[in-house]
Structure 1
Amino acid sequence: MSTHPDLNIKHTYDMGLIGNCAYLALIKKDTSVSWLCWPRFDSSFVFGSLLDTEKGGEYSIKPAVGDFSTHQYYLENTNVLCTEVECATGRYRVTDFAPRFPQYDRYYKPLMFIRKVEPLAGEPVICVTCNPVGDYGKIQLSRRRSSNHIAFLGLEEEVRLTTDIPLTYVLDRQSFVLNETRYLVMTYGAPLEAPLDSTAERFLRETVQYWLRWVKSTSISNFYQTQVIRSALALKIHQYEDTGAIIAATTTSLPEAPGSGRNWDYRFCWMRDTYYILTAFNNIGHFEELERYFHYIANISAKIHDKYQPLYGISGTSELIEKELDHLEGYRGNKPVRIGNDAYTHIQNDVYGQVLVALLPLYVDKRFVNPERANPEKLLAEALNMIKATMNIPDAGLWEFRNIAQYHCYTYLFHWAGSNAARKVARSLRNPEMEALANELIRESAQKIEDCFDPKRGAYTNAIGSPHLDASTIQLIMMGYLDPASDVANTHLEALEKELKTPEGLFYRYRHADDFGTPETTFLICSFWYVEALACVGRVADAIREFEKLITYTNHLGLLSEDVDARTGSQWGNFPQAYSHVGLVNAAYRIAKKLDTPNFV
């Protein structure tokens, strides 16, 4: 049954994110776990009420009866989430976290979800419901009761709930008085085989300390530091540490706009995001994440011999077959629910330049000593030859049009930027032949970009021969193709403002029709690109003003979605969107650098 919201009411994702670089979970304000996929980011959910309130299972710690109010917050500078609940009988707090801390010269990051429930006032009467499911809600798990835990059976490995709450209360969904602190530890595979309360407390203490140390080790200016820290923390746990991959978002199939059909699976690693993500980690001074992601990209690059795909799985998997799950109702009735993403079959020729720009530091940054990488001449030569081979081939572009192929300006920008990166590496390797090829491709791609120029508007269109403007061309300024001090940089930015910017400071990707009609919501990353471009061209006061508008579009915890409805300020699209948080980090960095420069105005 469709439960589309009133489109005049502001919609936000009232959920908090936890994770430990092995899994991610979303917890609603009412304590219910609306999303948790095990054993990997891209696995089926074991709790997925986000996409189906009946088939998605349930894991909640709610008052037994009556209305209640809640307050949800993070322990400062951590990914540890607290939800305080007040009801007629009292008040209590649920602390949710995914353990992560150093142990034996490695990070301990088990598939373990810990919930601490403590009374704060009165004698709250609560009810614990725990009903995990399998295969996207198709499998109902059987339950086996043991002395101190409940085993849920039917998946490849056992899901176990270990708790000091009487098991009868949990199994029968029976209410009880919370008069002392209780613990619930859910595991996938290896169970908890240690004292419950002392272990949970130690894991909580060490996890809090880990996140506090991680934040202290970041290089973040004072410019909206709180917002940048939250974005950095969210971005960090979107990295699947086992391989180094960073996924685009936690979820699948949250619609870009209600009823739009633009419901996609974002639990994969897009090559187009690589440069911006690495830039964000570099901007906050986090080398470890940077290096892991480099190695993920380098491992993919070493296996490629004909063409790059736009995206890959977190293990480097190339086949991501898209399927529609008709048995699920979808978020608020928005079908279809999709897993996999057909965009892996698309032609997006900007990926070759993206890879070259992303991998450049491996070969020129002196911090990388003997990095694990393929033969640099071979990798660079292959990528350059791919740029050469695709110079006159239309593609789906950055926005992955499904039935439209054009000669996109953004693609040629990354041909240009990638060739510039390759030229730097060629010089460091003393390879004149590679340098000559790079120079040739720099000239060719620059000419293609100029073929997109519309002299009447003083702006670059989205593709050769197209009249349409596209927010991706903001990157012409940020990537250094256009001199920020030039007249054309300013006229180009002003033309984009006129056509794509809303009065609220939000940016559409484009305003022309695509495979699904005309986009209804704005795309947050474009809005942050706009802020960066304003800073680049010296409009720093404007950049600050627009940045301050954008940070009002977070949810109650500072988390960002993919899309925003400019009219209502509603959040839409997959959530939390790593790319949006990357945009915030990079925009704040760009402004801060300008503020640190004397006479910036």
Structure 2
Amino acid sequence: MQICNYRPINSYGVIGDCHSVVLVSPDGSVDWGCLPDFDSPALFCRLLDSERGGYFQIAPTDKTIPGFQRYLRGSNVLQTKFSSTMGEVAITDFMPVETLSAWPYRGMNNNTWTREDGSCHCLVRSVECTHGELPVTMTLKVTPNYAASPSEISLAQHNLGALITGGQQYVGLGIVGAYRASSFSMIVVQNEGDIHPELIVQMTLREGERIVFALGVGRNAQAARRLVDVELHQRNFDVELTHTLHCWRKWISGCTYYGPYAEEVQRSALALKMMTYAPTGAIVAAPTTSLPEDLKGVRNWDYRYTWLRDATFTLYALNVLGFTEEARAFTYWLRRLSYANGEDLQIMYGIRGERDLTERELPHLSGYQDSHPVRIGNGAADQKQLDVFGEVLDCIHIYRRQGGFERYGETLDGPLWAMMQTLVEHVCAHWQEPDCGIWEVRGELRHFVYSKVMCWVALDRAIRAAQQLHLEADLSRWCLVRDQIRTDILSRGYNTTIGTFTQSYESTALDASNLLLPLVGFIPPDDP
């Protein structure tokens, strides 16, 4: 494996539609993409194997011409420009959205397929020559099922596009405007020993000429074929681009932050919004799998799931910026999770509330810069992490304090309060036990200080809600347990020799997570 073939992870642009995202490199290549949903098997995974992984590249035929990326103002629409003395082409990449709001709360079976065949959730790549003339090459290599399944390409007539199938995944590529190009040719190339053929388009574009490549997925080959032959060609992608820009700009206009680095803060908010899954209100930790914590290391995990902790951190960031709809959608997702009691609550779930996230390795992929193994699924779902109870209740607390319930004509009672009571009772029964901690240590359980503090937070937030809203609760016992937890942390979690809170009891190791102690109100910020 030639490591030089890999681009820095932070060089990628990201676009999404609150169903999934794709990563686009400055050389115009989509190197990671799971469609139609975050957890769909990857169709493009060159990010994890530069030789075997699929990609979708549009760029000047002259590979020495560099690309420069920018987002269109206030949106997650990405533009990549290639300029030379001969001419300039601009590629506008977006995933059309109808709305950025979570779907109606009908149940956990919400997903892309239950609403339609996936045709409206697609990737649109518009390439236009803005001056001069440039030869451009489009290369599409679809590698179904994380490049484990072979694929076949069937060309449509009259350069309308192609159907790519394999591994029970069905991809339709529609090509709109091929007749406008000064020259246009399309061939299928099957390299020896490669189970994934490539679709290659060679074209020359002159100033004002534009071609749109729209890629969608269908539930079956017939649905994908309809995309290629009919549906993608009936859509007005100019209108969809305008509407998509409007949706993103309307959403970001709700940002209430106007301080330093406002542009960077808004860009971060736009990125976080892409991590939300509109069909259910879930929030993924990341849209990728197996990007290494350290190059050549083995801590390469699949983050395309909803960690209760990570989701609440995302919601906290969005809440303080003035965005509350995401928290409302997430609380509905929480209420519909399948669990009998606190014992049964997992630290993480699939985006539709799936409990089984069985972890397995993909040995046929070499990993980003040869960092293997590549994994899908995540065994941490079975871990014991006591801090998640505090983070969930703190998230609801912040949402309540910011008037979220009143804003939508709702109250904190009924099923949501019953759920909170269940979580609190679980903390009362188990806070004295060791766990895996926030860093998901895969080894001996320990008494992590941060976990204990978040158990204190769980009690504290529930007590406040019960007192302020006059809700039914065993307040005297809850207050007693809250005080017991605090005393235990101060006596066992603070090392007087080194003058600081430690990572775990009877340890001298430090932990950055303890910097959150003043932020959650456990100690004052100026505590000596």
If the TM-score is normalised by the length of the shorter chain, which range does it land in?
A: 0.7 to 0.9
Amino acid at match of 2:282: A
Calculate the TM-score normalised by the size of structure 1: 0.75
Deviation at 1:213, TM superposition (A): 1.4
Q: Which residue of 1 aligns with 2:133?
A: 123
Between the aligned partners of 1:104 and 1:68, the Cα distance in structure 2 is 39
Equivalent residue for 2:499, pick from 442, 454, 458: 458
Alignment RMSD (CA, Å): 2.7
Deviations 1:518-577 (A, max 9, x none): xxxxxxxxxxxxxxxxxxxxxxxxxxxxxxxxxxxxxxxxxxxxxxxxxxxxxxxxxxxx
**Does the C-alpha gap of structure 1 residues 161 and 431 become closer, same or farther in structure 2, counting only changes over 3 Å?**
closer
Deviations 1:148-202 (A, max 9, x none): 2311123545311111336842546252211211111111126374574971111
Between the aligned partners of 2:210 and 2:376, the Cα distance in structure 1 is 39
Between the aligned partners of 1:265 and 1:434, the Cα distance in structure 2 is 40
**Counterpart mapping for 1:180-579 below 5 A:** 180-189=209-218, 191=227, 193=230, 196=233, 199-300=236-337, 304-360=341-397, 365=403, 366-370=406-410, 375-428=415-468, 430-431=470-471, 433-450=473-490, 451-487=492-528
Q: Which residue of 2 aligns with 1:169?
A: 186
Amino acid at match of 1:188: V
**Counterpart mapping for 1:48-87 below 5 A:** 48-87=45-84
Structure 1: runs of 5 or more not aligned: 488-601
**Does the C-alpha gap of structure 1 residues 159 and 66 become closer, same or farther in structure 2, counting only changes over 3 Å?**
closer
Residue identity over aligned pairs, in percent, reads: 29
Q: Which residue of 2 aligns with 1:570?
A: none
Q: Which residue of 2 aligns with 1:178?
A: 205
**Does the C-alpha gap of structure 1 residues 230 and 12 become closer, same or farther in structure 2, counting only changes over 3 Å?**
same
Amino acid at match of 1:96: D
Q: SS state of the match for residue 47, structure 1?
A: coil
Amino acid at match of 1:186: L
Deviation at 1:462, TM superposition (A): 1.3
Between the aligned partners of 1:339 and 1:247, the Cα distance in structure 2 is 14
**Counterpart mapping for 1:90-129 below 5 A:** 90-102=87-99, 110-129=120-139
Between the aligned partners of 2:273 and 2:411, the Cα distance in structure 1 is 22
**Does the C-alpha gap of structure 1 residues 132 and 480 become closer, same or farther in structure 2, counting only changes over 3 Å?**
same
Question: Is the CA contact 1:426–1:434 (under 8 Å) kept in the aligned structure 2?
Answer: no
**Does the C-alpha gap of structure 1 residues 197 and 89 become closer, same or farther in structure 2, counting only changes over 3 Å?**
farther
**Does the C-alpha gap of structure 1 residues 91 and 343 become closer, same or farther in structure 2, counting only changes over 3 Å?**
same
Equivalent residue for 2:152, pick from 110, 119, 142: 142
Between the aligned partners of 1:379 and 1:20, the Cα distance in structure 2 is 31
**Does the C-alpha gap of structure 1 residues 303 and 115 become closer, same or farther in structure 2, counting only changes over 3 Å?**
farther
Between the aligned partners of 1:187 and 1:328, the Cα distance in structure 2 is 25
Deviation at 1:389, TM superposition (A): 1.8
Does structure 1 residue 3 correspond to structure 2 residue 3?
Answer: yes
**Does the C-alpha gap of structure 1 residues 433 and 60 become closer, same or farther in structure 2, counting only changes over 3 Å?**
closer
Between the aligned partners of 1:390 and 1:375, the Cα distance in structure 2 is 23
Amino acid at match of 1:178: L
Between the aligned partners of 1:410 and 1:208, the Cα distance in structure 2 is 41
Between the aligned partners of 1:149 and 1:30, the Cα distance in structure 2 is 23
**Does the C-alpha gap of structure 1 residues 228 and 182 become closer, same or farther in structure 2, counting only changes over 3 Å?**
same
Amino acid at match of 2:166: G
Moved more, 19-28 or 35-44: 35-44
Moved more, 50-59 or 236-245: 50-59
Question: Is the CA contact 2:152–2:165 (under 8 Å) kept in the aligned structure 1?
Answer: yes
Q: SS state of the match for residue 453, structure 2?
A: helix
Amino acid at match of 1:239: T
Q: Which residue of 1 aligns with 2:111?
A: none
Moved more, 170-179 or 387-396: 170-179
Q: Which residue of 2 aligns with 1:597?
A: none
Q: SS state of the match for residue 46, structure 1?
A: coil
Between the aligned partners of 2:517 and 2:399, the Cα distance in structure 1 is 24
Q: SS state of the match for residue 337, structure 2?
A: helix
Calculate the TM-score normalised by the size of structure 2: 0.85
Deviation at 1:245, TM superposition (A): 1.0
Structure 2: runs of 5 or more not aligned: 105-114, 190-199
Question: Is the CA contact 2:100–2:278 (under 8 Å) kept in the aligned structure 1?
Answer: no
The size of the alignment, in residue pairs, is 484
**Counterpart mapping for 1:570-589 below 5 A:** none
